[in-house]
Amino acid sequence: MLLTAALVLAFTVVVGRNDGAPLCALNIGANPERPWGSVAILAAVTALVPLAGTAPVAGTYRELLGGGGVRELGTVLLAAIVTLGAATVVRVPTSVTLALVGAATGVRLAGGGANWPLVARVLALAALAPVLAGLCARALLAVLARLRLPDAHRWMGYARSGGFICVCAAYGLNDGQKLFVVWMTALGQPVGGPGGGPALRLMAAVGSGLAFAIGARLGLRAAGRAWRVGVFAPKPYQVSNVLVATALAVTVGAILGAPVSMTQATVGALMGSVPGVQWRRLRWNAVGRIAAAWAWTLPVSLLCGAGAAMLLGH
C-alpha cells in the first residue's frame, strides 16, 4: 500500500513536470517573474474539474486498467515510471499518456485480458490530436488575419489569458481525469464504482493538485528552454492562437473519451500557427520528436508492463 502511494505521488509529479510545465512555460513566455501564478491556476483547474463530474476519458482509463485494484495500479505505474525514467537516461522524447496506456495494456496482456479494440481506438485518436490542433490553429489564424481591433496589444493580452484558461479547462477534462482515476483507485475507490464519498474525492483532488504543482514548477525552466529551441519560437499573437487551438483539439478528444498528449497537441497547434512564409523556419528535427516519442514509449511501456506483471505474479 505504501509503495503504491509512493508510486502515485511520483507519477503525479512526473505528469506535472512533463505536461504541466510546458503549458505554463508557453503562457509565461518572456515574463517569468511570477511563475507560480500560471502553475497554481493549472494545478487547481486540473484537480477541481474532475470534482464537477467525470468525463468519458475517466471511463476509458478505467477500462484500460481493467477495473483492477491497488496492486494492479501499482504495477502499471511502476512500468510507466520506468519507461519515462529510461527515456530520460537515453535522452529520447516520451509521452506520459502513451506510457500509461502502454503499461496498462502490457499488464492486462500478461493476464490475457487486453482490450485491443479499445487500445486501437485510443491510439488512433491520440495520433489524430496534433493534426486536429494544427487544423484548428490554421483556421483561427485565418480569422485573426481578417480582424482589425483597436489597441491590439491589450486585446492580445486578453486573448492570451483567455487561451490559457481554456487550455487549463481542457487539460482538466483530459489529464485531470487520468490523475483522478489513478488517485481514486489508489484510495480503494475506483471511479464509477460504489463508494467514493466527498471526503475521498476531495483528498484525491488536493493530493493530486499539490503533487502536480510541484512537478510543474520543477520542470518550468527546462520547458521554457525547450520552447525556445524547439519547433518554432512563437510570437505573442501566436501563443494565444496555440493555446486556444490546443484546447479545442483536447476538448474534442475528451468528449470522445480519448486520452491525448497535451504536449503533442500543442506542437501540432504551434505548427498550424506558423504563417506559410515562415515554414522554412520550422525546426523539423524537433517535429520528428513526436514520432520518436511514439516509437520509444509504446513498445517499451508495453514490455515493461507485461514484464512487471509476470514478475509480480499478476
Q: What is the pLDDT of residue 153?
A: 66
Q: What is the pLDDT of residue 66?
A: 75
Tens-place pLDDT, residues 204-235: 999 999 999 999 999 988 887 777 666 677 77
Mean pLDDT over 134-143 rounds to: 90
For residue 2 the three cell numbers come to: 505504501
The values of phi and psi at residue 68, to 5°, are -70, 170
pLDDT score of 194 more than 60: no
For residue 312 the three cell numbers come to: 509480480
Mean pLDDT over 93-110 rounds to: 92
- pLDDT band (50, 70, 90) for residue 196: low
The mean pLDDT value of the chain amounts to 86
Tens-place pLDDT, residues 248-274: 999 999 999 999 999 899 989 988 888
State the pTM of this model. 0.90
Cβ pair 172, 253 in contact under 8 A? no
Tens-place pLDDT, residues 20-34: 999 998 888 645 566
